């Protein structure tokens, strides 16, 4: 099967049926086929690196350096190519005494057709990463990129349509109407990355067809800062993670909880570091992204009303620019603390005892990420054991997501399921349990009449 020029796009139901027909041939299942498709995808990305980076600039005003984060998905792709054969091997399982002789194993099998709905904040990476998992697991896939990142959507469409035949991997561009038409169909799995509200809509639609979902959402990821730290390094890492992509990162530190005794020094260090990175006039910095749309700009700027702005605050709607901004003396009931900010605004709140900080974190829905800055191992362990979050970084931010051997996903309101590397393979596979028994022996302990076998059965159970 070779993808040539893109054929006319079919209706969602017709396209899905074409994928079901192709999947039924079994062509997607062999290791050699999956490996070949992953390598084709890798080559296609390499050929379009410049276009992908330029699209990120067009959609989000990304500096070139941050634009290459989209292409950074190549690291995961290389990891999957290297490890796939081992993941596909059946896993042997030991038998209890009562089941011997025989053998048992678990083998992964593909689900069928996977729907991937992507977000606008990392619009290339966050559709290609689930696609890598779908291909590795032996599935077909349909991608729906975000219409709010049109330049990237166009690049993804060209890449997919020139690399794969639509009965294997297809793309559907468009707005809410396209998403609705796709969600009305019965897929074998839906993989959605985006906000909690839309995630609820996706899950409701999936429930009508009993379709399993992976929901990668977000939330207010807290950053707890102890007094026992290297202040300069901690601030440098926090500022980078918060203002990367203008704060439009689902695992960006959403707010700071800092020990009161170092709060003044911490805020002063934030101010100094932001100026060092982005200059006295950050609107002229080549290293700051822009907000994705006027709607997002207006929403984020609206959060500044009535707040104590100690750093930044400048904004320009025509350029969709908001300066890196720090808020002090924030009230827990303020709008900034009621929703995920998803922009370049960083509220700073203080705490006296770590138990107070933990209680505040636990008063909110479980976040996608939690960050702890401390050299105190007892405090680190206390926060780890007393809070729940999708993932954690200790003395750093964001980078835990780029370790392909670890699952990435949320918990509670921040998501359902996990992916990356082998976890994507597992998420998008069915793990089938198989028991194999020989004919050469057939003990009669399980067959009626039972009367003279009960005591033997009791002993067998106790030994299992």
The predicted structure's pLDDT at residue 99? 87
- Say if residues 143 and 153 touch (Cβ distance below 8 Å): no
The predicted structure's pLDDT at residue 2? 42
The predicted structure's pLDDT at residue 94? 94
The predicted structure's pLDDT at residue 203? 96
Burial zone of 244 (CB within 10 Å; 0-12 exposed, 13-18 middle, 19+ buried): buried
**What stretch(es) of the chain map to CATH 3.40.605.10?**
12-217+416-431
What residues in the chain have per-residue pLDDT under 50? 1-7
Cα 237 off chain centre by: 21
The predicted structure's pLDDT at residue 332? 93
Question: Is the Cα torsion angle 45, 51, 53, 59 positive or negative in sign?
Answer: negative
The closest of 289, 205, 186, 307 to 243, measured between CA atoms, is 289
Given 3-state DSSP classes, what are the helix, strand and coil percentages for the chain, each rounded to the nearest 5?
45, 20, 35
**What stretch(es) of the chain map to CATH 3.40.309.10?**
222-409
Which is catalytic among the residues 70, 216, 307, 340? Answer: 216
The predicted structure's pLDDT at residue 8? 54
Task: For residue range 288-329, list pLDDT tens digits in order.
Answer: 999 999 999 999 999 999 999 999 999 999 999 999 999 999
Angstrom distance (rounded) from CA 91 to CA 333: 51
Instruction: Tell me the CATH class for 12-217+416-431.
Output: alpha beta
The most distant pair of C-alpha atoms in the chain lies apart, rounded to whole Å, by 90
The predicted structure's pLDDT at residue 451? 85
The predicted structure's pLDDT at residue 443? 86
Place of tokens 């780029």: 402
The predicted structure's pLDDT at residue 428? 98
Contacts 24+ apart (CB under 8 A), 378-387: 379/226, 379/228, 379/354, 382/354, 382/358, 383/224, 383/354, 383/357, 383/358, 386/358, 386/362, 387/358, 387/361, 387/362
Angstrom distance (rounded) from CA 411 to CA 89: 29
393 belongs to the catalytic site: no
Angstrom distance (rounded) from CA 459 to CA 464: 9
216 belongs to the catalytic site: yes
The predicted structure's pLDDT at residue 344? 98
E-strand ranges in 72-117 read 91-93, 103-110, 113-117
Angstrom distance (rounded) from CA 104 to CA 106: 7
DSSP letters spanning 282-345: GGG-TT----SSHHHHHHHHHTTTT-EEEE---EEGGGTEE--EEEES--TTSGGGTS---SSE
CATH hierarchy code of domain 222-409? 3.40.309.10
Residue 150 CA: distances (Å) to CA of 55, 255, 334 = 8, 30, 34
pTM value is 0.94
The predicted structure's pLDDT at residue 5? 43
Burial zone of 320 (CB within 10 Å; 0-12 exposed, 13-18 middle, 19+ buried): buried
- Say if residues 221 and 367 touch (Cβ distance below 8 Å): yes
Give the ranges where 336-392 is alpha helix by DSSP (H): 354-362, 377-386
Residue 339 CA: distances (Å) to CA of 343, 357, 389, 456 = 11, 18, 16, 62
Angstrom distance (rounded) from CA 342 to CA 242: 9
Please name every residue paired with 309 in a beta bridge, in sequence order, or none if there are none: 327
């Amino acid at each position: 099967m070779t993808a040539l020029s893109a054929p006319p796009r079919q209706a969602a139901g017709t396209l899905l049926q074409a994928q079901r027909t192709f999947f039924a041939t079994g062509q997607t299942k062999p290791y050699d086929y999956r490996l070949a498709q992953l390598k084709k995808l890798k080559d296609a990305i390499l050929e379009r690196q410049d276009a992908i980076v330029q699209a990120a600039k067009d959609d989000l005003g990304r500096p070139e350096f941050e634009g290459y984060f989209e292409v950074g998905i190549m690291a995961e792709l290389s990891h999957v190519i290297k490890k796939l054969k081992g993941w596909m091997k059946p896993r042997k399982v030991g038998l209890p005494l009562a089941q011997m002789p025989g053998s048992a194993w678990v083998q992964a099998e593909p689900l069928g057709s996977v729907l991937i709905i992507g977000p606008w904040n990392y619009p290339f990476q966050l559709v290609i990463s689930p696609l890598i998992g779908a291909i590795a697991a032996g599935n077909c896939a349909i991608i729906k990129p975000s219409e709010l990142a049109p330049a990237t959507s166009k690049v993804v469409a060209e890449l997919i349509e020139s690399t794969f035949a639509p009965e294997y991997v297809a793309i559907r561009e468009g707005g809410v109407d396209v998403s609705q038409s796709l969600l009305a169909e019965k897929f074998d799995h839906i993989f959605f990355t985006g906000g909690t509200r839309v995630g609820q809509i996706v899950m409701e639609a999936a429930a009508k067809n009993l379709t399993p979902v992976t929901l990668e959402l977000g939330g207010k990821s807290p950053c707890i800062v102890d007094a026992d730290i290297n202040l300069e390094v901690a601030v440098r890492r926090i500022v980078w993670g918060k203002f990367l992509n203008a704060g439009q990162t689902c695992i960006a530190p959403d707010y700071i909880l800092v020990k009161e005794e170092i709060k003044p020094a911490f805020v002063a260090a934030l101010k100094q570091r932001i100026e060092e990175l982005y200059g006295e006039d950050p609107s002229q910095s080549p290293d700051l992204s822009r907000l994705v749309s006027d709607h997002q700009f207006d929403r984020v700027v609206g959060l500044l009303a009535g707040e104590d702005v100690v750093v930044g605050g400048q904004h320009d709607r025509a350029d969709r620019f908001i300066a890196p901004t720090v808020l002090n003396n924030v009230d827990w009931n303020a709008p900034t603390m009621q929703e995920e900010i998803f922009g370049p605004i960083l509220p700073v709140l203080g705490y006296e005892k770590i138990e107070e900080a933990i209680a505040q974190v636990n008063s909110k829905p479980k976040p996608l990420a939690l960050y702890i800055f401390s050299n105190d191992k007892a405090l680190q362990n206390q926060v780890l054991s007393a809070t729940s979050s999708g993932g954690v970084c200790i003395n750093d931010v964001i980078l835990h997501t780029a370790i392909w051997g670890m699952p990435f996903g949320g918990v509670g309101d921040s998501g359902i399921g996990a992916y990356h590397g082998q976890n994507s393979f597992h998420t998008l596979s069915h793990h089938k349990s198989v028991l194999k028994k020989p004919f050469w022996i057939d003990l009669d302990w399980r067959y009626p009449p039972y009367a003279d076998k009960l005591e033997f059965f009791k002993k067998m159970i106790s030994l299992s």
